[in-house]
Structure formats: structure tokens, C-alpha cells
Chain A
Amino acid sequence: MTRRNNIYANVDWISILIWMLLIVFGWMNIYSANIMNGDGTILDFSQRYGKQMLWIGVSVVLIVIVFILDAKFFPFFAYPLYGLMVMMLIAVFLFGKEINGAKSWFVLGGFQFQPSEFAKPFTALALARLLSSHGFTLKSKRSLVLAGMIIFTPALLILVQPDMGSTLVYFAFLLVLYREGFSQNTMILGASLAVLFIITLLTDKSLIVLGIWLVALFLFRFNVGGKKVVTGIFIPGIAIFGLLFAANYFSGMKFPIYHVTLAAFAGASIASLVAALKSRQPAMLKILVGMFVTVLFVVSVDYAMNNLLKEHQQQRIYVTLGMEDDPQGVGYNVNQSKIAIGSGGFAGKGFLKGTQTKLQFVPEQSTDFIFCTVGEEWGFIGTSLVVILFVVLITRLVILAERQRSHFSRIYGYGLLAVLFVHFTVNVGMTIGLLPVIGIPLPFFSYGGSSLLAFTLFLFIFLKLDSNRLELLR
């Protein structure tokens, strides 16, 4: 307990250094993206860089407050803070202001405030509190349901705003469950279903059903050895669908492939089912059930998408997946983003030298697409530096989390690094055209007071917990 005052020695200066580098470099890019021809001071609060400077100042105050508070404050108040935040999310849905189609902002004076950003650290606190409580085990169904509720209550409230991007971030907390011992197979299954979901929206449904069918047949072939069944269905099936697809794609015919596929699938399944029952092989039945469930999943996703959602909701999802142009053209933004980044070359054009006035067409130039400015002005050196900073920060946080004695601190730390990981991956991935455009900010880097403050709070609560790791035992 004598170490209590020795906060400077205990705090992790590596993380703080990276935080500082990201904040400063981020601000420089926001400045460059918004600067006029020379005039205007750094503290011009009518400009974004001025506002961001103000937010950086507020962040520092916030850090001081976090460090003054007793470390036990956070586990103790985890639930009340979480409850307060859920109420804020409900309030913003009822009384908030709609900007760009999402009702996710409070407006106070000249400032806008986005509660969904702050929901992330508070969710992490509540989840850490729950998972570290006595007698909690991920093996019990009840505990799992509770954890799910803590994670997805804010996610649902944000989904109805609707803010699809921020909602997706909540899946990061599932990674925390994974670290705490949640079944690996379930995680993989969940991830596969998510991928299947996206593929269902992105590609031809008949191809997917066909794909599932083929996978199942291969499993038969290698696990069960039902050679006759496989060759009997496999070869004619491939031939027929090959012909149908060729007819549709090359000669502009319009065979209802989807329905034919489903019908053929049903026929083949019955044949396999009979074969499976006859040969009394449980492995074969398992594969069949798996196959049915996945096809059912695909068909119901497709049905829900086309029949249950209103047109504008469908539109929103397709736009998020980058399939359909939004009014300004999502695909267009990505191209612009790539052009800007590419034009930077190896060493970049230099600070404030970015001539790509074309960036005016990327609306989120200093928020979601700030990485473009880095690419254009600082080149490959700048972009890879940012990537490395994030990789080092996240791995450093893994190490810090693992050295905690208190479960609460470790789980919270994993919540933090998982959310950072998802934000970093999705944001940079989208800017360089590897992932669909999902509008979420680059932590510490993008313009925006709510995001900056929330992430700073998120990080420094953990650094505070870490600096007290020798006292916090549970």
C-alpha cells in the first residue's frame, strides 16, 4: 500500500506516449484538411482544428480527473454509469437531433455531443464488473444471457438511431468473452454466420445455396465415405447448374435459378436423408442438419431483407455494404480516398502541401476519412507509422491487461483493446478499399470531440487501473 503515491512510476508511459503521438499527428492532419490560405490562428474555434484543440484540452482535464479518482471508483460505479448511459441513449433517440439521417446527437449551444461514443467505455466497465463478479461462469446460460444483455442493449439502441457502424463495434466485446473462456467453436460458428450473412447480401443467393450444398457433399465424401451418393448427385448437379448459369449470364436468358436450386437442394437433401437413415451414420445426419440450418439461414436473411425491411432500410444496408451508391456515391468516396492516398507516394507531398482539392468531394474528410490526408501529405512513411502505432498500442494493451491481478481490470482492458482493434481495422480497411465503407472514426485521430473524449476516457481509465494493479486484487 505504500506505493500509492508512486503513480508516475506505475503508470504505463509507453501507452501515454503513443496516445500523445496519435493525438498530435491527428490534429496536424485535421489542421491541414481544414486550413485556409495561411490566415486564421490555431485556436480559431469556428474551425475544426480550433475545436479539436479545445477538445484536446478538455481531454487532458478529463485525464487528470480520472487519475485523481480512486481506482476502486470504477468497479464500484460500473453499473450506475452504465445505467445512466443507457438512459442517455434512449433520450437521444427521443429528443436528439438528426444529422445525416441518424438521430444520434444532442446539440448544446454550438456543440454537438454524441452519446453513442461514450457508451463504449461504460459498456466495457459494466461487462468487466459482471464477468469478474463472484460465481460468474461463462458456462452457465444465465450468465451468458446477462453478458449478452449488457453488450447488446446499447448496441440495439444505437441501431435504431440508426447508426449501423457504431452498432457493429459492439461485436468487439464478444472478443472479450473469448479471452475469458467462451467456447472457441461457438465464436467460429458465430463469425461464419456473420460472414455468411454478408455474403448473402452481396452475392447471388443461388450460388450460396449451391456452395453450401457442395461443401456438404465434400464433407460426406471425406467424413462418411458415401461415394455413391456423392457422385450420383454431384456430377449431374454441377452439369445442370453450369448450363443454367451459362445460359443466364451469357445469353441473357432468365431461368429462375434460385428456385430451381432450392428445389434441387430439397430433392437432393431428401435423397441424402434417406441414405443417412438407411446407413445409420450419425455423422451424416449431423452434416445434413448443419446444411439445413445454414440454407435456412440464407433463405431467411434473403426473405427478411426483401420482404420485411422497408426500401430505405434496405438501401441503408446495401449502402453500408458498399453495394449500392448512396446519393454522393459510397464507391466514389473510396475511389477518391484511394486516389488521395496513392498520390502521396512514398514520402508524401509534405505537411499542408496536399493539392488534392478533390477531397472536397469526400464529405468526411477530417472525420472518417482522415487517413486520406495522412496518405497524401505524409506518404507511405506516414501511413505505415500510424498503422505501426496502433499495432504497438494494441499489443501493449494486451500485455498490460495480462499483467493485471484483478479480473475486473483485465476484462476492462480487453474491452478497450478489442474496441480499438475493431475501429482501427474497419476505419483503415475502408479507407484503403479493403473493407466496405462503414462510417466509424479512427480513434484519437479523427475530428470529433465526442469520439476523442470517449476514447481518451476509455484508455485512461485502464491506465489508472493498471497503475493501481498491485492494490486491486479482484
Chain B
Amino acid sequence: MNLFDNRRYVFIVFTVLIGLVFIVRLFFVQVVESSYKVSALNNSQSHVVVYPARGLIYDRNDELIVSNQAAYDIMVVPNNVRAFDTTWFCNILDITKQNLEERLQRAKNYSWRVRSVFMKQVSFDVAAILQEKMYRFPGFSLQSRTLRKYARPVASHLLGYIGEVDKRILEENAYYAMGDYIGVIGIEKSYENILRGEKGLQIFLKDVHNRIIGSYEEGKYDKPVKVGRNMTISLDADLQEYGEKLMQEFVGSIVAIEPASGEILTMVSSPTVDPNMLIGRNLGETIRKLSADTLNPLFNRALMAQYPPGSTFKTINALIGLQEGVLHTTTSYYCDYGYYYRGVHVRCHTHRAPLNLVESIQHSCNTYYCNVFRRIMEDPDYENTEEAFNHWRDHVASFGFGEKLGSDFTNELKGNIPTAAYYDRYYTSGHWNFLTIISMAIGQGELLITPLQMANMTATIANRGWFYTPHLAKEIEGEPNIDPKYKEKHYTTIDAAHYEPIVEGMDLAVNGGPGSTARIAKIQDITVCGKTGTAENPHGEDHSIFIAFAPKDNPQIALAVYVENEGFGGTWAAPIASLMIEHYLKGETNRTWLEQYVLNGNTKKKKNEEAAQGTEDTGNEEEG
């Protein structure tokens, strides 16, 4: 060990050396270099934070849908406040002296040295007058802010809104200061870092009278402001407006996707709010009020409502059956008003029998799918139901069910596809079979799917077996590409060829003549493929679902329409989907009768009910 005892001197020498380097450096910085010193006249610096304009948002047709408007906050640093003309100040701001004291106290409680908001969003005129006289009020300053402005009163769920940062964000992210705005939800939140830009800083020198006498060190320490970047989203504002109009009498949602790109064309959640209501100093109160509403207009049903898919799910079971080789296009089953097996009865409606695969989609036969489901679950290729179930579940998951799709929304939910483990727990292993879970044959039971996932499934069928993750971002200024995950094709586990009979069945469901379930969705010159569905609702009337895409070959639009508490999918959801498709592909509709039918909606029924029960109770428990 003695060998290394001298190494102690290395430590001592290094420590002393570093100390010397520091002292020399400090001597230069503090004593020699005058440039760091603020002049002896006690001139002080003034820091002005320059807020960038937030990025603009355009829709897919280059229509400017979100822009900015200026507003001014009065800020205060309590530590710098000196005696000032309170009477004049209170008069111009139209507040009492007591209120002035309260506001100052609130600022002091936040911090004596850090700037905080004294008064939010004063009018432009007041700001203009104050600007001139600001030097008379040391400690106070004007801060320009950017508020949003919306060209159309639509799409508030998808665009989201901006609001003041809360305490949690202030604590976690050093960029934001009290009073700053941040995207709270929707696109504004997802693309906050792109849209917000970056705050800049100007340092000025002030004299003893608190007047600015020039920039500090010729702006050497200033930080340039970076303007927020603009973005183009895939939304079709016109279609969105039309969709919201069609849904105004209903509770529910519409999601439309361009199958070839995965771009979201429309995302309606009804009831909705005019985004222009989500601006300004009363935002907090507005939000509180809206949240208290039983139908909660702020709740985004398109992403967060989870419903059983109903008969629309028959398409998936058919595809899995074909892929697993337990079902063929020629397979026929007889249906006598339902499926009976060991005391279990699944009812079916009136239609001709027997039906083959294509006809089973066209007529939406429950019996047929109970048989298909049994064949899948009792597939002799697998050892037991559990193994067969796991294969079935993998197929289902390949459509993006049971997990978040990964769209550019932060509040997307994942729905639910039960696992074998779940049934093992519930019924104990080996004590359940296809009959236990037969309701999933026709899309009921534990299955839960969001409208976005449903629209994505429709796009996948339209594409015959693949999808791009649904997304809104189309172009971002300054970035050559959007997130590569939106350019990645996801293939389902089903071969492309198996989709043809399903598409055929969906074609016939709309265009197949008498007995087809969705004849009301038919459009002249356009081959619409569709499928009705009804989501069982244990809390009230069932929800009506319709999925559709068009044209049949080279699909341009795929969509899912949900209307809550309105029963059979053909009644309302199908005509709404049909009108949406027509509006998107033709730009107009000449079926004004159908439009009127939807726009008048269930008013007749509503009136009857209101007369009967006084007030209507709309159970939207699905949102859980």
C-alpha cells in the first residue's frame, strides 16, 4: 500500500488547482470585467418575455379553421411595486380599491419576485391607454397573449382548446410560467410543442424613473422568440359541420376516415360545444357548467365512449371463420327465428332461409353467426376452447381492438376484448365453452369498442385487410414528414381474399333489395357498402350503429355512426351515414326528404315521451 500513499498529493494538488482556477475566474468576472456590471447609478434591468403567436391550423382543403386574436394580461411583480396613483389605476381598470388590494395579495401569495397575472384579458382599449402610462406603475407590466379564434363553430372535441397552465404543470415543466396558456385537450394538446413556438426574451435597461433607456448589452443576452408552427390537419371542416348538423337532434358520434391514408375526415361527438365558447376569461366557469350537464358536451364520445359492436362484429367473426377454414363462402345454415342449443336461445328476425355467407351479412342472421362462432371455438385443430379462443382473440386484436390505436389524441380509450384468463377466472378453467360466451358471436357481451376503433375496422374492410393508424396530422410546418408511425401499414391476420364475400354482403345489405337491412343508405350512382348494428344497453334503450364505406371499389370514405338510445341501426345511423357519404363524395345531396327526416330527428318521439313522462331521462351510462 505504501506504494500508492503519494497519490494523496494528487488529490490535494488538484483541489487547490481547481480552487485557484475558480478564484482567478471569479476575479475576472467580478472585479476586472465591467461588462457584467450594471452601472453604478443603480440602473436596473427589465426582462420582457415575448410570447410567440400560436401556430395556425388549416383543414385538408386549406381552409384556415383556427387562428389567433390578441388579448392583454396585466402582470405584477409585487416586490417592484412602489407607491402609485391607485385612483387612476382603479378607474381605468374599473375595479374598487378593495379589489385592487385583493389582487395584489393574491400575487404576493404566489410570489413576491416572480411575475404573476394581476388581471386577465383586459380590453384592447384599456391596454392601449395603459401602455402609454405604464412607467408610472412600477412593478406592473402588460403582457400580450394569444387567444384562439375559430372560423366555424365546429369540431371543438377534435381541436381541443387552450387554457391557463395549472399548478401541476408549473411544477413539472419549467417552460411554463403562471398565466401561460397550454393546449388542454385535442390537437391543441397533442401538438402543443409544435403549435406553441418558443417564448423569447428581451432585456432592457431602465433608469431610476423606471423608464426604458435601451437594450441591455445591445441585445447580447436576448433570446429570440420562435413563432408557433402552423399545421394542416386531415379534417374536412365542411363535412364536420354537416355531420354536426345531422347529429344535432341525437346523442352519439360519427367518425369518418379516408381508408387509403388513415386520415380522419370527421369526428363528431354529439352534443357538442361551439369552440368559441372555450375562449376567454370565463373559460373555467364555462367548463364547470358544461361538465355538470348530464350529457356532458365536453365528453368526446368518438374516443371515449365504449359500446358493444353489435351485428357489425359479424363481419369480423365471418373473416375469422374463413381464415381458420371452418367457414366457406358456400356454407349455409337454416334459421328458424333463432338459435337453440342446450336451453340457450338467441333470437333472430324474419328473413328467408337457409342463407349462405354473403346473404348472412346482407340479412344479419344471428343463427348463422352462432353456428360460425361454435365452429371457431370448437375447431378440431385446437386442443380445447381456450386455445381456439386465444386464436380468435389474436385475429380480433389485429384489427386494433382492445388496445389504444395510437392516434394523435391523448384521451383515446382502448375498449375491451376479454381474454381467456378472464373467463378462466370467472368460470374457472375448463368450465366454459362457446355457449358461455355465445353473445360475442353477434357482437354483444363483454366486447367494448370505441367509435374510432369501429371506423378503423370499416376502413380495414374497405382496404381488404390493412389500415393506417387513424390520425389527424397531415402537414407540420418545418417538418418534412409527420410521425412515421402513421405511415406504417398494419395488416390484419386475415388474408385479403377473404374480405371479398364480406364486402359483397355489405354491398347487398344496402343495395340488395327487399329484406336487406340497410336499404335506406342506398345512394344513386354510388355503391355504398354497409352493415347495421345494435349495441345492447342494459341501462336503457339500445344504441344504433351503422358502419359503411364507399365507393365499393376504390373506397374514399369509411365511417361509423353511433346514435345512442335509438334502437335499430337502420333507423337513424344508416341515413346519417348515407348523407355523410353523399356530401363528401358529391358535395351536396338531392335527397332533401332524407335530410329533413334526419334533421327533424326524433322530435316527434321526443314530444310524445315528454308528454308522457314530463322530462326525458337520457341514460348515457356507457361513458362510465
Q: Check if A178 sits within 8 Å of B172, measured CB to CB.
A: no
**Cβ of B30 and Cβ of A383 under 8 Å apart?**
yes
Which residues of A lie under 8 Å from residue B27 when comparing CB positions? 380, 384
Provide the B9-30 mask, 1 if CB < 8 A to any CB of A, else 0.
0111011101101110111011
Is there contact, CB below 8 Å, between B26 and A343? Answer: no
If the complex has contacts A332-B201, A395-B16, A398-B11, are A327 and B173 also in contact, measured as CB distance less than 8 A? Answer: yes
A343 and B47: CB pair below 8 A? no
Given A341-B30, A387-B26, A327 and B4 touching (CB < 8 A)?
Answer: no
- B173 to A: closest C-beta gap in Å: 7
B26 pairs with A421, CB closer than 8 A: no
Interface residues of B in 509-546 (CB under 8 A from A): none
The reply to whether A343 and B38 form a contact with Cβ atoms under 8 Å apart is yes
Task: Tell me the bound Cα distance from A363 to B37 in angstroms.
Answer: 21
Interface digits, B42-61 against A, CB 8 Å rule (1 contact, 0 not)?
Answer: 10110100000000000000
Q: How many A-B residue pairs have CB under 8 A?
A: 142
Chain A nearest Cβ from B222, distance in angstroms:
9
The answer to whether A327 touches B172 (Cβ under 8 A) is no
Q: Judging by beta carbons under 8 Å apart, are B22 and A387 in contact?
A: yes
Q: Is there an interface contact between B30 and A361, defined as CB atoms closer than 8 Å?
A: no
**Docked pose: A36 CA to B27 CA in angstroms:** 31
User: Which chain A residues lie closer than 8 Å to B22 at the CB level?
Assistant: 387, 428-429, 432, 434
Q: Using Cβ atoms and an 8 Å threshold, which residues of chain B touch A360?
A: 47, 77, 111, 113-115
Q: Are A99 and B112 in contact (CB under 8 A)?
A: no
Q: B31 and A357: CB pair below 8 A? A: no
Report B-chain residues with C-beta under 8 Å of the C-beta of A391.
15-16, 18-19
Q: Mark A371-414, 1 if CB is under 8 A from B, else 0.
A: 00001000110011001101100110010011000000000001
Q: Are A179 and B8 in contact (CB under 8 A)?
A: yes
How many angstroms from the CA of A398 to the CA of B173 in the assembled complex?
41
Interface extent on B, as a size class?
A: 35 or more
Which residues of A, 147-192, contact B by the 8 Å Cβ criterion?
Answer: 175, 178-181
A361 and B222 alpha carbons, distance in the complex (Å)? 13
In the complex, A346 has a CB within 8 A of chain B: yes
A37 interface contact, C-beta 8 A: yes
In angstroms, Cα B23 to Cα A357, docked, is 26
Q: Is B1 an interface residue (CB 8 A)?
A: yes
CA distance A434 to B23 in the complex (A): 12
Of the candidates A100, A341, A380, A387, the one whose C-beta lies within 8 Å of that of B174 is A100
- The 8 Å CB contact of B221, one of A335, A355, A380, A421, is A335
B19 with A388: CB separation less than 8 A: yes
Beta-carbon contact of B37 and A342 below 8 Å: yes
Residues of A within 8 A of B15 (CB): 391, 394-395, 398, 421
Q: Establish whether residues A345 and B1, one from each chain, have CB atoms under 8 Å apart when the complex forms.
A: no
Chain B residues within 8 Å of A394, by CB: 11, 15
Contacts of B111 in A (CB 8 A): 360
Query: Could you tell me if A402 and B113 are in contact, using CB atoms closer than 8 angstroms?
Result: no
Nearest CB of chain A from residue B131's CB, rounded to whole Å: 22
* Cα–Cα distance between A398 and B18 once the two chains are bound (Å): 15
Q: How far is the CA of A112 from the CA of B25 in the complex (A)?
A: 35
User: Given A100-B174, A327-B173, A432-B29, does the pair A343, B19 have CB atoms closer than 8 Å?
Assistant: no
Question: CA–CA, A395 to B9, complex, Å?
Answer: 9
- For the complex, give the distance between the alpha carbons of A401 and B12 in Å: 12
Known contacts A343-B38, A380-B30, A398-B8: A363-B115 contact under CB 8 Å: no
Given contacts A181-B3, A329-B223, 15 further A-B contacts (CB under 8 A): A99-B172, A327-B173, A332-B223, A342-B29, A342-B33, A346-B30, A355-B44, A357-B80, A357-B113, A358-B203, A361-B47, A398-B11, A398-B15, A417-B11, A434-B22
Q: Which B residues lie at the A interface, using CB under 8 A?
A: 1, 3-5, 7-8, 10-12, 14-16, 18-19, 21-23, 25-27, 29-31, 33, 35-38, 42, 44-45, 47, 77-80, 108, 111-115, 171-175, 198, 201, 203, 221, 223
Q: Which 3 A-B pairs have the closest CB atoms?
A: A342-B36, A327-B175, A391-B19
